[in-house]
Amino acid sequence: MRFSGLVERIAGEGANAWEIHSEAKSALDRGEDVIVLSVGDPDLDTPASVLERAIERLRAGDTHYTPAPGRQRLREAIAAAHHARTGQSVDASNVIFLAGAQNALFTASLCLAGRGDEVIALEPLYPTYPAAIEVSGARMVRARAPAAQGFRPDLPALESVITPRTRAIFFATPNNPSGVILNEAELAGIGELARRHSLWVVADEVYAGLAPGGRVPSLAASMPEQVVTISSLSKSHAMPGWRAGWLVGPRQLVAHVESLVVCMLYGLPGFIQEAALTALQIAPAAEQRIREFCAARRDFLLAGLAGVKGIRCCIPDAGMFTLIDVRETGLSGHEFVRELYRAERVSVLDGGAFGEETGGFVRLCFATDEAALREACIRIRRFVASLKIP
């Protein structure tokens, strides 16, 4: 039997990056002595008020159909939060509530480009980007942010890959995995290119709440008809399993996405939406909590791995990850991940999954409990020492 050509596009290039992570999670579920630092799932509970609101609404029978784009009050709250973060004036008609930022990326790509088009994505990029972008039939073109420049975007290189077929530029700020926050000058350069070539700009700001002050520089206010902003509650409120995300953009785009989700999701659970509304109401405190948690864990990790010969931790601007340069060990990122897990049962992610520039790096999530992080540092130090680096 034959399958659609779609199945090849949705497999994605980075699928095998999760092989060790999946193995480690299975071992952990069996009760084995494994430390999993390969996924961005913060070791914090969802705020109690959010949890209680969901339970309350469940018991009240809030389990029926809801409007496809999300409830009006929730969309209004998202619009207000977006305005506070970016300065862009929007209302509920500019917002659609979706099943996490990943779903928002997927639906945006389907509505912005198609077969024969090209979409530029700034590297390093999250491993699901290629499949999410190319599912439409468009071709993803990579614009590298060189490791030698601290993974900051190379604007001339970005301009050089724009062609008459280019339809959009996708990027994440703060970046996953590097933690780099695009500054005003870099965004101005991207914006100028987008204006000149009539390109969409899709800004994945899922980690914005973890940035200093809870916001990042944005093009949304200055380019309201071209910028699409994507975010969620997964990281800022420790709610990854709730699948509560959204897209903010021009009204016509939101209408197209609504048509798509009618035949994809047909609305999301009411009790989840009411919990999301509560989460937005306590956002300042929730985001401050995760920022302080991640800052403390980041500093703990950097101290724990300081002075280890052969590896170097990159210091992120924000987020819950650090990239570790392992090139001096003589191992590739993939080899380091595999051998570290085999020897010490610590799971991290191969940097090569995020792009060519991060091929000699591994990504480590430090948003975990202090005891696990302390033990992970001991094991990583022991593993690197066993390599007998000249």
Residues 193 and 79 in one domain: yes
* 54 within a domain of the structure (yes/no): no
- Residue 3: the pLDDT is 85
Question: What phi and psi values does residue 341 have, to the nearest 5 degrees?
Answer: -65, -40
**Mean local confidence (pLDDT), 174-196:** 97
- Whether residue 50 is contained in a domain is answered as no
Same domain, yes or no, for 148 and 103? Answer: yes
pLDDT exceeds cutoff 90 at 193: yes
pLDDT, tens digit, for every residue of 202-258?
999 999 999 999 999 999 999 999 999 999 999 999 999 999 999 999 999 999 999
328, part of any domain: yes
Higher pLDDT, 10 or 266: 266
CA of 266: how far to CAs of 65, 112, 185, 217, 260, in Å? 8, 21, 40, 33, 9
pLDDT of residue 133: 94
Domains: count for the chain = 2
- Whether residues 98 and 184 fall in one domain: yes
- Do β-strands 35-36 and 166-172 pair in parallel, antiparallel, or remain unpaired? unpaired
In the prediction, which pLDDT does 345 show? 95
Task: Among 282, 311, 340, give the residue marking a domain's end.
Answer: 282
- Does the structure show a pLDDT above 90 at 8? no
Amino acid 14: pLDDT: 58
In the predicted structure, residue 136 carries a pLDDT above the cut 80: yes
Whether 128 and 250 map to the same domain: the answer is yes
pLDDT digits (tens, 9 = 90+) for 296-333: 999 999 999 999 999 999 999 999 999 999 999 999 99
Residue 79: pLDDT band (50, 70, 90) is: very high
Q: What is the pLDDT, as a whole number, of residue 288?
A: 96
Q: Are residues 308 and 258 in the same domain?
A: no
Q: Are residues 349 and 213 in the same domain?
A: no
SS (H, E, C) the chain: CCCCCHHHHHHCCCHHHHHHHHHHHHHHHCCCCCEECCCCCCCCCCCHHHHHHHHHHHHCCCCCCCCCCCCHHHHHHHHHHHHHHHCCCCCHHHEEEECHHHHHHHHHHHHHCCCCCEEEEECCCCCCHHHHHHCCCCEEEEECCCHHHCCCCCHHHHHHCCCCCEEEEEEECCCCCCCCCCCHHHHHHHHHHHHHHCCEEEEECCCHHHCHHHCCCCCCCCCCCCEEEEEECCCCCCCHHHCCEEEECCHHHHHHHHHHHHCCCCCCCHHHHHHHHHHHHCHHHHHHHHHHHHHHHHHHHHHHCCCCCCCEECCCCCCCEEEEECHHHCCCHHHHHHHHHHHHCEECEEHHHHCHHHCCEEEEECCCCHHHHHHHHHHHHHHHHHCCCC
Confidence of residue 390 (pLDDT cuts 50, 70, 90): low
CATH number of the CATH domain containing 73: 3.40.640.10
Q: What's the pTM?
A: 0.93
Residue 329 falls within a domain, yes or no? yes
Q: Cα 111–113–116 angle (5° rounding)?
A: 145
Query: Domain span at residue 21?
Result: 6-45+285-384
Instruction: Kindly state whether residues 173 and 127 are assigned to the same domain.
Output: yes
**157 belongs to a structural domain:** yes
**Which of 282, 311, 339 finishes a domain?**
282
Report if residue 306 sits inside a domain: yes
Strand order in the sheet with 321-325: 312-313, 321-325, 361-365, 349-350
**pLDDT at residue 378 in the model:** 96
pLDDT in tens, 150-167: 999 999 999 999 999 999
The Cα 143–Cα 196 span in angstroms is 18
Q: Which pLDDT belongs to residue 91?
A: 98
pLDDT of res. 153: 95
Query: pLDDT tens across 259-280, in order?
Result: 999 999 999 999 999 999 999 9
Q: What is the pLDDT of residues 341-356, one digit of tens each?
A: 999 999 999 999 999 9
Indicate if 127 and 194 belong to the same structural domain.
yes
CATH code where residue 23 lies: 3.90.1150.10
Interval 86-121: pLDDT, tens: 999 999 999 999 999 999 999 999 999 999 999 999
Question: Does 226 share its domain with 302?
Answer: no
Residue 21: the pLDDT is 86
How confident is the model over 331-387, as pLDDT tens digits? 999 999 999 999 999 999 999 999 999 999 999 999 999 999 999 999 999 999 999
pLDDT of 13 above 90? no
Task: Specify whether 293 is located in the same domain as 278.
Answer: no
Query: 370 and 231, same structural domain?
Result: no
pLDDT of residue 278: 98
In this prediction, residue 49 has a pLDDT band, given cuts at 50, 70 and 90, of: very high
Identify whether 174 is preceded by a cis peptide bond (ω within 30 of 0).
yes
Residues 40 and 143 in one domain: no
- Report yes or no on 337 lying in a domain: yes
Is 216 part of a structural domain of the chain? yes
Last residue of a domain, one of 267, 282, 297: 282
